[in-house]
Chain A
């Protein structure tokens, strides 16, 4: 037990070592030049917030559109670089910025005082009012903040609206979710009575759902904290200055009201015209492809490394043994979600260009390794010692004994458990969507925001997951049967 806690301490210690690096990175400027040198402007956004940012399907491709995207395009053009959009959860945006996964964040983000402590903002480029989305049948009941007494209000976690509801509606219960789409589903199904959101967004949802309505509940807002601005890493003055000059230009020509918002409106109308699920089958197909890719690759590495760690754990070498024990216990004792974020954001601090897909595969593989190692260890330990003795008495080395006698028998015994792990991974890998890997869940969310439909895409994803796991378990069962007769 003592040795275990020592390991834990060591791991935390090593983790702590990374933190100073981050600050050194963030404090140095000259980032404008860096962006120009690499020729790309990597922009983080949470594309479920029409008309600021959302997705449309054009020629089978997902396209990020909205007024923020138009601004980002203009900014990139002004800098003379290529625009690269990274779509992720709103919650993850600032972490991505701090860990230099993205050069800037534009996501209808309000420059609150809290946020100003960790990032720098450009000037405000657009100021919308803070509205509330309600069900049409409640129109008579809900007029202003006061009329919501004892009702549950939904808001996007980490958003300005969430803070406003919390501060100005103290008697209300607040339900925070990461995705606006999920909040709208909650509203439609009566889980919440209203959702606080930005004016333009609220209007977009109301326009596309006949059962919904927009009201202005008269939040008191501090004008310095409302409105949307572009976020940059702390101390990134050269980029902020460049962005401000682009924003000045946009304002001078009134581009947002004259071009960008009408533009977004067109896309939104287009989306609603073809929001039958059949139009989006390519989304789901891509999601299946990535989910299977992540699962298969992770199962492979999980198995290879799992054998390795199982043998280490069974080794007579104390150091190897404890190393394996520490790894297995640590991984099994922490949530996969945290591991995925740690690999992407933590290790990503050291390797800037680590793509989300690779990070996701690494995290899921490392996670699976620990579970597979335990399965294999129990499989090996279940083989009677007489087998080893018979092999050794014939002159087989330990290695040959494992290879020809122990491992083949162990594998046969643990085949069902390994198959289970495979099936588990298909389901568990869905967590990688939080770092923006385009797996089935992520694609499902894209379809939700593109179609303004909440439940149907969830149902489809659920059915697809079931078909995948069910057919896999049938296939595995078939091989299990054959192995028994071998």
Chain B
């Protein structure tokens, strides 16, 4: 199997606060990784180090064999196009219609041309079940709809891996399902995914591997059925019992 992402000796500190202490992991092509762990344990920071929204303090992040840390701006922009990211707070562009949100990067970065961008964007909106919202502005959508647009927007660049940072945490409970369904479909289509989530049901069902993060380390990793039924570390047991109560 091809190693799409390789993390070596990754450390990240904010001032004196050491958030990531020493992380060594690989993501293989086609794998779905769910990262779980208590809040404040560094999951978002880890995910953001993968596409260098956060610059690591030490260590390497290899994407397709290239070390992202030592790239110049231009090369970094090039590699970021190949990694999609979905945020907890959606971060749709409120100044553009739903369609323009999805079209922006293909049009301005890939320069695919107006017609093709529109056509592709409409296809993606259909894929997430929102083709009828194309002309609306984000403010008129529900949270679940916004997050589905955000997923379509990230997919528009045809990425090789998708990073999700708690995509359903900001949603009302009745909307969580529609977003998880889109993600499940995506996983089924073979997309490589790294998902930070508190949705244990989703993780159990979709993940190839669970990474349990606490105190700046990946404390434990394994197949979902092993992790959820027989966690090896005391920390993981404590976390799970809190999550499932």
Which residue from chain A places its CB closest to the CB of B107 in the assembled complex? A404
B residues near A400, Cβ cutoff 8 Å: 108-109
Flag the segment in A53-61, A267-275, A364-372, A384-392 that touches B.
A384-392
A393-B80, A393-B83, A395-B109 known; A386-B95 Cβ under 8 A: no
State in angstroms the CA–CA spacing of A391 and B84 once bound together: 11
- Does chain B have a CB within 8 A of A278? no
Given the complex, which residues of B lie within 8 Å of A30, measured CB to CB?
none
A395, B73: Cβ atoms closer than 8 Å? no
Q: How far is the CA of A384 from the CA of B91 in the complex (A)?
A: 9
Known: A394-B80, A398-B73, A412-B95. A389 touches B53 (CB 8 A): yes
Query: Assuming the A-B contacts A386-B87, A386-B89, A390-B87, are A397 and B77 also in contact, with contact meaning beta carbons closer than 8 angstroms in the complex?
Result: yes
A118 at the interface (CB under 8 A from B): no
Query: Which of A389, A392, A396, A408 contacts B95, CB < 8 Å?
Result: A408
Interface residue? B81 (CB, 8 A): yes
Residues of A within 8 A of B95 (CB): 405, 408-409, 412
Within the assembled complex, what's the spacing in Å between the Cα atoms of A146 and B191? Answer: 102
A residues near B49, Cβ cutoff 8 Å: none
A15 to chain B, nearest CB (A): 39
Least CB distance from B46 to A in Å reads 15
B53 close to A395 (CB less than 8 A): no
Chain B residue nearest in CB terms to A397: B77
Question: What B residues does A395 contact at CB under 8 A?
Answer: 77-78, 80-81, 105, 109, 157
Q: Are A397 and B73 in contact (CB under 8 A)?
A: yes
B87 to chain A, nearest CB (A): 6
A200 to B11, CA, bound (A): 89
Cβ-neighbour of B104 out of A393, A397, A404 (below 8 A): A404
> B194 to chain A: closest CB distance in Å?
13
A397 to B74, CA, bound (A): 8
For B, the interface residue count at a CB cutoff of 8 angstroms equals 26
Query: Could you tell me if A396 and B91 are in contact, using CB atoms closer than 8 angstroms?
Result: no
Enumerate A394-418 residues with CB–CB distance to B below 8 Å: 394-398, 400, 404-405, 408-409, 412
A384 to B51, CA, bound (A): 19
A387 to B150, CA, bound (A): 12
Secondary structure at the A interface, as helix, strand, loop or mixed, is helix
Instruction: Tell me the chain A residues, 33-75 only, with Cβ under 8 Å from chain B.
Output: none
Interface status of B12 (Cβ within 8 A of chain A):
no
Most chain A Cβ neighbours within 10 Å, of B74, B89, B91, B104: B91
CA–CA, A412 and B94, complex, Å: 11
Nearest-neighbor residue (CB-CB) of A390 within chain B: B91
A398, A404, A408 — which one has the most chain B CB atoms within 10 A of its CB? A404
The CA-CA distance from A412 to B137 in the complex, in Å, is 15
Distance of A426 from chain B, by nearest CB (Å) = 29
* Closest A residue, CB atoms, query B82: A395
- How many Å lie between the Cα of A405 and that of B108 in the bound state? 12
Could you tell me which residues of chain B, from 53 to 81, have a CB within 8 Å of some CB in chain A? 53, 73-74, 77-78, 80-81
The verdict on B153 contacting chain A, using a C-beta distance below 8 Å, is yes
Contact A393 B84 (CB under 8 A): yes
Interface centre among A393, A396, A412 (most CB of B within 10 A): A393
Residues of A close to B35: CB separation below 8 A? none
Residues from chain A with Cβ under 8 Å of B80 in the complex: 392-395
Max count, chain A CB within 10 A of own CB: residue among B78, B81, B83, B104: B104
What residues of chain A lie closer than 8 Å to B73, measured between beta carbons?
397-398
- Which single member of A386, A409, A412 contacts B91 (CB below 8 Å)? A386
Q: Residue-by-residue, is B27-53 near A (CB-CB < 8 Å gives 1, otherwise 0)?
A: 000000000000000000000000101
Residue of B nearest to A410 (CB): B95
A400-B108, A412-B95 as given contacts; A393 in contact with B89, CB under 8 Å = no
The answer to whether A389 and B93 touch (CB under 8 A), given A394-B154, A395-B157, A397-B73, is no
In the bound assembly, the distance between CA atoms of A341 and B73 in angstroms comes to: 45
**In the complex, are the beta carbons of B53 and A394 less than 8 A apart?**
no
B85 at the interface (CB under 8 A from A): yes
> A396 to B106, alpha carbons, bound, how many Å?
10
List A contacts of B108 (CB < 8 A): 396, 400, 404
CA distance A390 to B84 in the complex (A): 10
Q: Which of B78, B87, B104 contacts A389 (CB 8 A)?
A: B87
Contact A396 B105 (CB under 8 A): yes
- C-alpha gap A130/B128 in the complex (Å): 91
- Among A390, A392, A408, chain B packs the most CB atoms within 10 A around the CB of A390
Which residues from A are CB-within-8-Å of B89?
386
A392 to B77, CA, bound (A): 7
Contact yes or no, A390 B83, CB < 8 A? no
Q: How far is the CB of B111 from chain A (nearest CB, A)?
A: 11
In whole Å, how far is A392's beta carbon from the nearest beta carbon of chain B? 7
Residue of B nearest to A405 (CB): B93
In the complex, A386 Cα to B138 Cα: how many Å?
A: 15
Q: Could you jot down 11 A-B contacts, CB within 8 Å?
A: A386-B89, A389-B53, A390-B153, A393-B85, A393-B154, A394-B153, A395-B77, A395-B78, A397-B74, A405-B93, A412-B95
| Contacts A390-B150, A395-B157, A400-B109 known; 14 new A-B pairs at CB < 8 A | A384-B91, A389-B87, A390-B93, A391-B93, A394-B81, A394-B109, A394-B154, A396-B109, A397-B77, A400-B108, A404-B104, A404-B108, A408-B95, A409-B93
Instruction: Write the residues of chain A forming the contact surface with B, with a CB cutoff of 8 angstroms.
Output: 384, 386-387, 389-398, 400, 404-405, 408-409, 412
Give the 3 A-B CB pairs with smallest separation, nearest first: A395-B81, A390-B91, A393-B85
